[in-house]
């Protein structure tokens, strides 16, 4: 009978922490919690680190029997009472080591009875891998004030700052009773401009306000249904703006954003600004975003792809909708089909880009546009769409979509050409995301663009009657986590708040902000965060996103944008028809791009 070896392990890690933070250890064995953030080992603080100035050392000692190898890593968390059971603690991860591989111990490396590890948090094999946490039990609340969203009635008043205070609505503001633990987190805010962003703590007068900047306030809470916000507005009279005797900003008024107003996951709240003597001083429009934890999936601490794009040496070749757009420019394979994705992989694509919607019966399907044109069948294809109507993808079931007969519209001549497809054929349009994950070879990565409508600058919406954003994302993410296997996946979307939601809901895949920037092809979106590529870069940094997908037209006109991404350590994927030009391709690949999304992979070899 073999004798199991017992060893004494000491784990030490140096890092900076906040007073309310705890450092935990996790790993690949039961004694270390099997990568479960709720089962980690809590370390104990020691003296300041002798090797890293400003850092503290946290440590623990464990007796482990019968193990010849294991992997481990560290994470930082807040420990709070569970919102479901006040007698149970919940671990809210604020930082963790997001890497493809973790630290590993083999008994052959160190056969001594007492093994000691001295690590630096966020550094594994010389590579930086520290990443922000994700939502576990808490809800993320975000208020965004876009440019020109505040209107004051008094013309000689200049708004200089805005303060945002979260309020627990179940208790009076000045209650002397003990507060409940719904507002566990520190609140954050940042000011976003086209050139940069500044993350700042609120002073007594809040954050500095500029009419052309974007002001964002964030808070994470345990029960969003009981949390509201008070906004206080400060300014000065322009007639005494430069008077040295002025004693600081004047309180202009206040607004309340109550939980009853925050009905949807994404929306806009419009409310009056009231003075202390109950007069109306103005009006404010606030965009809000409520992100809830992903339902039905437990995020693991074992590995993550979120940081891997930043270490990409050669640009990824990404097939646009597979082998490329096919509806207005005839292609050998129909776009956004399993056949197109497989063909793109055959011709050397590392990833394929696809567009994901939800059907009426809540099935994620692949198709580009929000609408499809529907018409009664005609004998003469030339008159096919003389009388047609548009229908939203979301208003048709999967069965209805897949029973439609599709046509290409050729520009020269103007003619509708039928597409031949049969059930089960890889050319069939509207494939489900699940089927794509199961049938496209796993070595082909997926760049999943989440289609969610935005308001255009002329006030029109890309689509009406949309799904709730948390519901929408949870269904798509559930399919991906169930069927993705080892496939590499990149998320992207034009909707800036949806980017943040995707990033907060999971810890495995990178999320890139998709922007069309300044271009000559499409109308701009109304949201200022979407206007330029430089603003997109600032937004990605402000929200800790790993990078952006930018339209090649603006990158080619201002190559400094590519340099800016490199300096900020942001991943950059270029997209657009400008890439099809060989000279443009050469210019782009002279810069440290992460990838290129383009049509016609066949002709770009």
Query: 85-128: per-residue pLDDT in tens?
Result: 666 788 999 999 998 889 999 987 777 889 999 999 999 988 88
Q: What average pLDDT does range 449-472 have in this prediction? A: 94
- Mean pLDDT score of the chain: 88
Question: Which CATH superfamily hosts domain 6-132?
Answer: Immunoglobulins (2.60.40.10)
Domain residue ranges in the chain:
6-132, 139-291, 315-370+423-604
- Residue closest to 140 by CA, chosen among 180, 185, 170, 173: 185
Query: Given this model, what pLDDT does residue 80 score?
Result: 87
Model pLDDT, residue 194: 82
- Report the pLDDT value the prediction gives residue 346, as an integer from 0 to 100: 92
Indicate whether 225 pLDDT > 60: yes
Tell me how long the chain is: 605
Residues 6+ apart with CB under 8 A from 531: 194, 517, 518, 524, 525
Instruction: Write the CATH number of the domain with boundaries 139-291.
Output: 2.60.40
The answer to whether the CB of 218 falls within 8 A of the CB of 142 is yes
- Report the pLDDT value the prediction gives residue 247, as an integer from 0 to 100: 60
Greater pLDDT, 391 or 467: 467
pTM here is 0.91
First to last CA, the chain: 62
pLDDT in tens, 275-331: 999 999 999 999 999 999 999 999 999 999 998 888 888 999 999 998 877 544 455
Question: What is the rounded distance in angstroms from the CA atom of residue 229 to the CA atom of residue 145?
Answer: 13
State yes or no: pLDDT of 544 exceeds 80.
yes
- Ranking 73-87, 105-119, 209-223, 358-372 by mean pLDDT, the lowest is 73-87
Peptide bond connecting 512 to the previous residue in cis, omega within 30 degrees of 0: no
Confidence of residue 244 (pLDDT cuts 50, 70, 90): very low
* pLDDT of 180 above 60: no
Of 198-202, 252-256, 428-432, highest mean pLDDT: 252-256
Please give the pLDDT value at position 159: 94
Residue 600 — very low, low, confident or very high, per pLDDT cuts 50/70/90?
confident
Task: Write down the pLDDT at residue 177.
Answer: 43
Place of tokens 């567009």: 355
Same topology between domain 6-132 and domain 139-291: yes
Residues 502, 503, 504: CA angle, nearest 5 degrees: 95
Which tokens is 109 given?
């490396």
Tell whether domain 315-370+423-604 is in CATH 3.20.20.450. no
Of 561, 556, 544, the C-alpha closest to 588 is 556
Task: Please state which of the ranges 17-31, 169-183, 214-228, 450-464 shows the lowest mean pLDDT.
Answer: 169-183
């Amino acid at each position: 009978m073999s004798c199991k070896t017992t060893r004494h392990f000491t784990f030490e890690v140096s890092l900076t922490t906040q007073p309310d933070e705890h450092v935990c250890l996790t790993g690949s064995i039961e004694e270390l919690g099997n990568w479960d953030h709720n089962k980690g080992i809590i370390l104990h603080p020691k003296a300041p680190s002798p090797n890293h100035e400003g850092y503290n050392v946290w440590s623990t000692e464990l007796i482990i029997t019968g193990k010849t190898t294991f992997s481990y890593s560290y994470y930082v968390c807040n420990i709070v009472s569970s919102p479901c059971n006040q007698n149970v603690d919940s671990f809210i991860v604020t930082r963790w080591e997001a890497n493809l591989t973790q630290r590993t111990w083999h008994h052959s490396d160190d056969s001594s009875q007492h093994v000691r590890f001295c690590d630096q948090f966020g550094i594994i094999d010389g590579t930086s891998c520290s990443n922000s946490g994700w939502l576990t039990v808490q809800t993320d609340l975000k208020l965004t004030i876009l440019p020109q969203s505040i209107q004051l009635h008094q013309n000689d008043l200049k708004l200089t700052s805005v303060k945002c205070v979260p309020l627990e609505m179940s208790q009076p503001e000045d209650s002397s009773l003990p507060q409940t633990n719904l507002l566990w987190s520190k609140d954050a805010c940042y000011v976003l401009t086209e050139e940069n962003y500044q993350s700042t703590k609120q002073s007594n007068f809040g954050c500095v306000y500029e009419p052309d900047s974007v002001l964002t306030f964030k808070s994470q809470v345990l029960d969003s249904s009981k949390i509201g916000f008070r906004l206080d507005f400060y300014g000065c009279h322009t007639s005494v703006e430069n008077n040295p005797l002025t004693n600081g900003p004047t309180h202009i008024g206040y607004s309340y954003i109550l939980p009853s107003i925050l009905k949807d996951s994404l929306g806009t709240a419009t409310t009056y600004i009231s003075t202390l003597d109950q007069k109306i001083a103005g009006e404010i429009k606030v965009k809000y975003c409520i992100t809830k934890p992903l339902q039905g999936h437990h995020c693991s601490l074992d590995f993550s792809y979120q940081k891997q794009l930043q270490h990409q040496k050669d640009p990824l070749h990404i097939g646009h909708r597979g082998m490329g757009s096919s509806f207005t420019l005839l292609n050998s394979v129909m776009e956004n089909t399993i056949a197109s994705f497989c063909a793109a992989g055959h011709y050397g694509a590392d990833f394929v880009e696809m567009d994901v919607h939800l059907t009426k019966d809540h099935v994620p399907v692949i198709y580009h546009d929000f609408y499809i044109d529907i018409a009664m069948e005609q004998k003469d294809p030339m008159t096919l769409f003389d009388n047609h109507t548009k229908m939203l993808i979301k208003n048709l079931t999967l069965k209805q979509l897949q029973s439609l007969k599709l046509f290409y519209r050729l520009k020269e001549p103007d003619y509708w050409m039928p597409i031949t497809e049969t059930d089960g054929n890889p050319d069939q349009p509207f494939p489900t995301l699940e089927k794509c994950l199961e049938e496209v070879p796993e070595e082909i990565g997926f760049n999943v663009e989440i289609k969610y409508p935005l308001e255009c600058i002329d006030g029109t919406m890309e689509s009406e009657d949309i799904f709730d954003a948390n519901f929408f994302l949870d269904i798509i993410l559930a399919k991906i986590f169930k069927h993705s296997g080892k496939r590499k996946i990149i998320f992207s979307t034009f909707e800036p708040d949806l980017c943040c939601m995707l990033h907060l809901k999971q810890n495995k895949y990178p999320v890139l902000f998709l922007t069309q920037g300044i271009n000559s092809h499409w109308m701009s979106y109304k949201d200022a965060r979407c206007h330029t590529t430089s603003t997109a870069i600032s937004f990605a940094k402000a929200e800790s996103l790993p990078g952006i997908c930018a339209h090649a037209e603006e990158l080619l006109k201002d190559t400094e944008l590519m340099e800016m991404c490199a300096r900020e350590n942001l991943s950059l994927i270029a997209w657009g028809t400008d890439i099809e030009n060989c000279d443009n391709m050469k210019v782009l690949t002279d810069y440290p791009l992460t990838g290129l999304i383009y049509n016609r992979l066949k002709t770009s070899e």
